[in-house]
Structure 1
Amino acid sequence: MATSTTGTMARPMRADARRNHGRLLAAARTAFAEHGTDASLEDVARRAGVGIGTLYRHFPTRHALMSAVFQEAVTSLITRSRELAEAERPCAALVEWLGAIVTHAGEYRGLAQALMSTCRDESSALARCNTPLREAGSLLLTRAQSTGSVRPDVSIDDLMQLTNAIALAAEQSPDDPHLADRLLTLTLRGLAVSSPADAKSSPSGD
């Protein structure tokens, strides 16, 4: 059952509130897809057939609305990280997951920039949405580092910021559909350990 987005012990919503909540999320997805994450919240409310006050009762801030809209994608990414945690090639698993993060961050115009700007702002609803992603990615990174194929000084926060930056660069270069893949490849080469024994290793495989 849906609950309010405010408070850790939120009461279950009434039926009409649940309907409004669902309409707002659907309207926000459409508005964000058409106009990016800076889309007018008044427009979102209008599309949902409710007043702006109703929108703010459900989602006190833009980031709270964004967090709710992207929750399904976040859940999918976390589920995929758990599947990849059992992969035979830990480094390849990490690479696949980071590629999925880039795709997610680039799904809506403005999302990558918002993720970058709030990554260390724990008061932001959007940043709190990223916490489980960092935890999921950290497990994949640690496993890849344990094989000696990824440098030990790489942190999951570094990787999350890099993937967001790649998504932002791709967003700003719409005429180059392969830019994100190229940048991700270049970035991942920098993850490889530099010791002679591992010189033949690369982040594209173990």
Structure 2
Amino acid sequence: MPTTGQSRGVSARSKRADAVRNQQTLLEAAAEVFVSSGVDAPIREIAARAGVGMGTIYRHFPTRADLVIAVYRHQVEACAEAGPNLLASADSPLAALRQWVDLFVDFLVTKHGLAGALQSDSGGFDALHAYFLDRLVPVCTQLLDAAADADEINPGTHAYELMRGIGNLCIGHDSDPRYDPRRLIDLLLQGLRRPQSP
């Protein structure tokens, strides 16, 4: 039978676990809103999506920059963790790469607004960019290598090169509704494919 001190310890741990879960829910809701409405979306829209009060958001993230940075880190980690999971579950390494690129594009839409949200902190933005490269270039490399090993794509494509190309294709998406970067990214990925033998 647990003592009172042990009960308090278990209770504190479960409260911490609840707080972490609540924060994850909030970050996922904020990411969805940022992807659909931009980084300047009203906080009340994020609160409604997360099913919390606006005070809860401000308690976790006192400024919009704090929230954007947290969403950025959350999405980097989600992209990093998705790579190996997709390789294990997708029909093929190329299918895993395509699914991962979709997640990466969602992330880039959020990332685009980050520079504006951090105008006064270029050092902070540089540190986040380095973190982004450190976490995601190895994951993209693993996906490319697996697709090349399976003879689905030509070898020799560098992850940084591909990620930068995708990032460049995403520029301008939010300012021109006629422009669909995903269509061009799909063409780019088709260009990686190894030609099928006749």
Which TM-score applies when normalising by structure 1? 0.54
Residue 66 (1) aligns with residue 72 (2) = yes
Residue 139 (1) aligns with residue 142 (2) = yes
Correspondences of 1:78-97 after superposition (within 5 Å) = 78-83=84-89, 87=92, 93-94=93-94, 96-97=95-96
Change (3 A) 1:151 1:19: closer
Q: Which residue of structure 2 aligns with residue 155 of structure 1?
A: 158
1:158 positional shift: 0.6
Change (3 A) 1:144 1:114: farther
- State the Cα deviation string for residues 104-162 of structure 1 (Å, max 9, x = none): 2443783253699x9xx7721x653564432222123234445595253x311111112
Aligned CA RMSD, in angstroms, stands at 4.6
Amino acid at match of 2:98: G
5+ residue gaps, structure 2: 1-12, 116-121
Change (3 A) 1:29 1:37: same
Residue 180 (1) aligns with residue 186 (2) = no
Q: Which residue of structure 2 aligns with residue 54 of structure 1?
A: 60
Amino acid at match of 1:64: A
What CA distance in whole angstroms lies between the structure 1 residues aligned with 2:45 and 2:134? Answer: 29
What CA distance in whole angstroms lies between the structure 1 residues aligned with 2:106 and 2:153? Answer: 30
**1:169/1:180 contact within 8 Å kept:** no
Amino acid at match of 1:37: V
Change (3 A) 1:66 1:40: farther
**2:80/2:136 contact within 8 Å kept:** yes
What CA distance in whole angstroms lies between the structure 2 residues aligned with 1:174 and 1:49? Answer: 34
Q: Which residue of structure 2 aligns with residue 103 of structure 1?
A: 102
Q: Which residue of structure 2 aligns with residue 195 of structure 1?
A: none
What CA distance in whole angstroms lies between the structure 2 residues aligned with 1:136 and 1:109? Answer: 16
Change (3 A) 1:133 1:14: same
Identity %: 18
What CA distance in whole angstroms lies between the structure 1 residues aligned with 2:144 and 2:31? Answer: 31
Which TM-score applies when normalising by structure 2? 0.56
| Number of aligned positions between the proteins | 172
- State the Cα deviation string for residues 158-183 of structure 1 (Å, max 9, x = none): 11112223344555543355x52344
Q: Which residue of structure 2 aligns with residue 21 of structure 1?
A: 23
1:28 positional shift: 1.7
Amino acid at match of 1:39: A
- State the Cα deviation string for residues 8-59 of structure 1 (Å, max 9, x = none): xxxx6636744752563255245424522343568757844326353149x9
Correspondences of 1:114-133 after superposition (within 5 Å) = 123-124=127-128, 128=131, 131-133=134-136
